[in-house]
Amino acid sequence: MTDTLLIETSFMRQVAAAAASETLPRFRQNGAITNKQDGGFDPVTEADRAAEQAIRALIKATFPDHGIVGEEFGTEGADRRHVWVIDPIDGTRAFITGLPLWGTLVGLLEDGRAVAGMMSQPFTGELFHASGGKGGREDPHGQAALATRPTRSLTDALMCTTTPSLFEGAKRQAYDRVERSVRLARYGTDCYAYAMLAAGQVDLVVEAGLQAYDIVGLVPLIEAAGGVVTTWDGGRPESGGDIVAAATPQLHAAAIELLNR
């Protein structure tokens, strides 16, 4: 093994298949929903739990000395050099409403840095993956390398966020400044927006209040594609928080300037 662990695409496919075997049979089946949040709505389904268990089992069998952090079943070995971060269904609200804008996120931290990741959308047959600074996209129509668009100006940018209700107070004012500056804004995209940025379909994603499992699997995709992803203050994004991802350094700098004005 080299200093940096390289994850083969074949393993990403195995992870995606293991998760899909649990999520796809339950998609659009109106299964039971549990609310995890008192005084609010944070849904979890049987598909979330079953998919995470399947992913954990595969990681433990393949990399028994690695740690795991998952949204549904917590942390094991978080102090180890290599730690996998799992969101079995990112976009559970999309899942329970039958919209194919959810995905399975799995990322690998090496010494706290995201070095490999994947987003799988099994209903559309798409897999986005990256390791060692190289990324690819696979779907029923073929394969392609990940590459962001060359957009440098906010006035030319296509932007996504899951919902403007993510932002409150001054953060909403900051977000609105960016939205008013871009060519087009679209909502309701969860992890799919970041995958589309890495695939060269959109230019900017702005969100707030993310958890580590919401972003770790996506960071390698964006960086392998040539994009930039940080917190709003320019820091590393692996711990989550307020996140901005952009197709180019110039566009990222312009968004950061407006968010922090």
Digits of tens for pLDDT over the chain (261 positions)? Answer: 346 788 999 999 999 999 999 999 999 998 888 876 666 666 788 999 999 999 999 999 999 999 999 999 999 999 999 999 999 999 999 999 999 999 999 999 999 999 999 999 999 999 999 999 999 999 999 999 999 999 999 999 999 999 999 999 999 999 999 999 999 999 999 999 999 999 999 999 999 999 999 999 999 999 999 999 999 999 999 999 999 999 999 999 999 999 999
Which of 93, 126, 145 is a domain's end point? 145
Residue ranges of the alpha helices (H) in the chain? 9-23, 46-62, 92-96, 170-181, 190-198, 212-215, 219-224, 249-259
Backbone angles phi, psi at 241, to 5 degrees: 100, -145
Task: Indicate whether 123 belongs to any domain.
Answer: yes
Q: Pairing relation of β-strands 158-161 and 184-187?
A: parallel
pLDDT at 4: 74
Are residues 245 and 208 both part of a single domain?
A: yes
Which of 96, 115, 145 is a domain's end point? 145
Query: Residue-wise over 207-234: b if at least 16 C-beta within 10 A, else e?
Result: bbebebbbbbbbbbbbbbbbbbbbbbee
Prediction pTM value? 0.94
Amino acid letter, 235: G
Are residues 120 and 222 both part of a single domain?
A: no
CB 139 within 8 A of CB 146: no
Which of 91, 126, 145 is a domain's end point? 145
Are residues 120 and 181 both part of a single domain?
A: no
Backbone angles phi, psi at 238, to 5 degrees: -60, -25
Q: How far apart are CA 149 and CA 197, in angstroms?
A: 8
Task: Indicate whether 2 belongs to any domain.
Answer: no
Task: Indicate whether 246 belongs to any domain.
Answer: yes
Length of the chain (residues): 261
Domains contained in the chain, number: 2
Task: Indicate whether 1 belongs to any domain.
Answer: no
Are residues 81 and 166 both part of a single domain?
A: no
Are residues 88 and 206 both part of a single domain?
A: no
pLDDT at 37: 63
Domain of 117, in residue numbers: 9-145
Task: Indicate whether 163 belongs to any domain.
Answer: yes
Are residues 22 and 127 both part of a single domain?
A: yes
Are residues 35 and 127 both part of a single domain?
A: yes
pLDDT at 1: 38
pLDDT at 192: 97
Task: Indicate whether 116 belongs to any domain.
Answer: yes
Are residues 23 and 73 both part of a single domain?
A: yes
Task: Indicate whether 15 belongs to any domain.
Answer: yes
Taking alpha carbons only, the member of 103, 138, 107 closest to residue 122 is: 103
What is the CATH classification number for the domain harbouring 235? 3.40.190.80
What is the CATH classification number for the domain harbouring 116? 3.30.540.10
Are residues 25 and 119 both part of a single domain?
A: yes
Torsion of CA 117, 67, 190, 100, to 10 degrees: 80
Are residues 122 and 185 both part of a single domain?
A: no
Q: How far apart are CA 163 and CA 259, in angstroms?
A: 16
